[in-house]
Amino acid sequence: MKIKTNTTSRVRDKKFREKERMCYLLLSPQIIGFLVFSIIPMLWAISLSWTYYDTIKTRFVGWENFLLLFHDSNYWRAVVTTLQFAVMKIPVELPLALILAVLLSRKIKGAGFYRAVYYLPHVISTALVALVFSNIFSFFGVFNALMQKTGLMSIPVDWFAEKMSAMWIIVIADIWKTFGVNVLYFIAALANIPEDVYESARLDGATRLQTFFRITLPMIAPTLQIIIMLSLIGTLGTSEMVLVLTNGAPGGLTYTVNAYIFNNYAPGITNGTVNVGYGCAMSLVTGLMLSVITLGYMKMSSGVKEVY
Amino acid sequence: MLKQEKISNLLAHVVLLAVLLITIFPLLYTVMASFKTNAEILSNPAAIFPVKPTFQNYIDAWNSDVLDIKRMLFNSTYYTVIIVFATLFSTSAGGYVFARGEFRGKSFWFAAFSLLMFFSMGSVTIYPTLKILNFLHVPKSLPGLMITKIFGVSIVNIYLVRSYVYSLPKGIEEAAEIDGCSFVGIFFRIVLPLLKPIMATIGVLAFQGSWNDYLMPMIYTLGDPKQRPLIVGVIALSKSGESAASYNLVFAGTTLALLPVLIAYCIGNKYFVSGLAAGAVKG
Peptide bond into A41 cis (omega under 30): no
Q: What is d(CA A240, CA B154) in angstroms, rounded to the nearest whole number?
A: 20
Return the exposure string of A113-129: e unless at least 16 CB atoms fall within 10 Å of the residue's CB, then b. ebbbbbbbbbbbbbbbb
Q: What is d(CA A229, CA B227) in angstroms, rounded to the nearest whole number?
A: 37
Q: What is the average pLDDT score of chain A?
A: 89
How many residues can be counted in chain B?
283
**B36 found inside a domain:** no
Digit-coded pLDDT (tens) for A45-62:
999 999 998 888 889 998
Q: What is the mean pLDDT of residues B132-154?
A: 93
Digit-coded pLDDT (tens) for B205-264:
999 999 999 999 999 999 888 999 999 999 998 888 666 677 888 899 999 999 999 999
Digit-coded pLDDT (tens) for B19-41:
999 999 999 999 999 998 888 88
CB-neighbour burial class of residue B108 (10 A; exposed 0-12, middle 13-18, buried 19+): exposed
Nearest CA in chain A to B107: A1
Instruction: List the CATH number of the domain containing B228.
Output: 1.10.3720.10
> B103 pLDDT exceeds 50?
yes
> A275 pLDDT exceeds 50?
yes
Nearest CA in chain B to A140: B45
Q: What is d(CA A271, CA A286) in angstroms, rounded to the nearest whole number?
A: 23
Please report which confidence band the pLDDT of residue A36 belongs to, taking 50, 70 and 90 as the band edges. very high
Q: At what angle do helices A9-33 and B142-150 cross, to 10 degrees?
A: 150
Q: Are B120 and B126 in contact (CB under 8 A)?
A: no
**B108 found inside a domain:** yes
Whether B103 and A38 lie within 8 Å, measured CB to CB: no
Strand, coil or helix: B151: coil
**Contacts of range B68-74, beta carbons closer than 8 Å, 24 or more positions apart:** B68/B225, B68/B226, B68/B233, B69/B230, B69/B233, B69/B253, B69/B256, B71/B226, B71/B228, B72/B228, B72/B229, B72/B230, B72/B232, B72/B233, B73/B230, B73/B256
| A256 residue type, one letter | T
Distance from CA of B183 to the nearest CA of A (A): 6
Angle value at C-alpha B247, between A167 and B66, nearest 5 degrees: 115
Predicted local distance difference test score (pLDDT) of residue B269: 85
Digit-coded pLDDT (tens) for A80-97:
999 999 999 999 999 999
Q: What is d(CA B227, CA B217) in angstroms, rounded to the nearest whole number?
A: 9
Whether B153 and A34 lie within 8 Å, measured CB to CB: yes
Residue among B244, B251, B229, B228 nearest B61 (CA): B251
| B54 residue type, one letter | T
> B278 pLDDT exceeds 90?
no
E-assigned strand segments in chain A? 51-53, 58-60
> A4 pLDDT exceeds 80?
no
Q: Which residues are paired to A52 by β-bridges?
A: A59
Longest dimension (CA), chain A: 92
User: How far apart, in Å, do the first and last CA atoms of chain B sit?
Assistant: 44
Q: At what angle do helices A111-119 and B247-274 cross, to 10 degrees?
A: 120
CATH class of the structural domain A71-306: mainly alpha
Chain A residues with CB-CB distance to B120 below 8 A:
237, 287, 290
Residues 6+ apart with CB under 8 A from A116: B269
Chain B residues with CB-CB distance to A287 below 8 A:
119-122
Please report which confidence band the pLDDT of residue A128 belongs to, taking 50, 70 and 90 as the band edges. very high
Q: What is the mean pLDDT of residues A34-53?
A: 94
Helix H, strand E, coil C: the string for B205-237 is HHHHHHHHCCHHHHHHCCCCHHHCCHHHHHHHH
Predicted local distance difference test score (pLDDT) of residue A40: 95
Distance from CA of A244 to the nearest CA of B (A): 8
CB-neighbour burial class of residue A78 (10 A; exposed 0-12, middle 13-18, buried 19+): buried
Chain B residues with CB-CB distance to A26 below 8 A:
93-94, 96-97, 101, 184, 187
Structural domain boundaries, residue B118 = 67-282
Q: What is d(CA B262, CA B275) in angstroms, rounded to the nearest whole number?
A: 16
Q: What is the mean pLDDT of residues B114-121?
A: 86
Q: What is d(CA B182, CA A19) in angstroms, rounded to the nearest whole number?
A: 8
Extents of the domains making up chain A: 9-66, 71-306
Question: Which of A93, A99, A124, A212 would best serve as a mutation to test chain B binding (most B beta carbons within 10 A)?
Answer: A124
Predicted local distance difference test score (pLDDT) of residue B283: 32
Q: What is the average pLDDT score of chain B?
A: 89
Please report which confidence band the pLDDT of residue A8 belongs to, taking 50, 70 and 90 as the band edges. low
Predicted local distance difference test score (pLDDT) of residue A151: 85
**What's the number of domains chain B is made of?**
1
Digit-coded pLDDT (tens) for A142-186:
899 888 888 888 888 899 999 999 999 999 999 999 999 999 999
Q: Which range has the worst mean pLDDT, A211-220, A252-261, B19-28?
A: A211-220
ipTM attached to this prediction = 0.91
> A6 pLDDT exceeds 60?
no
Q: What is d(CA B156, CA B281) in angstroms, rounded to the nearest whole number?
A: 8
Peptide bond into A250 cis (omega under 30): yes
Question: Which of A16, A94, A117, A120 would best serve as a mutation to test chain B binding (most B beta carbons within 10 A)?
Answer: A120
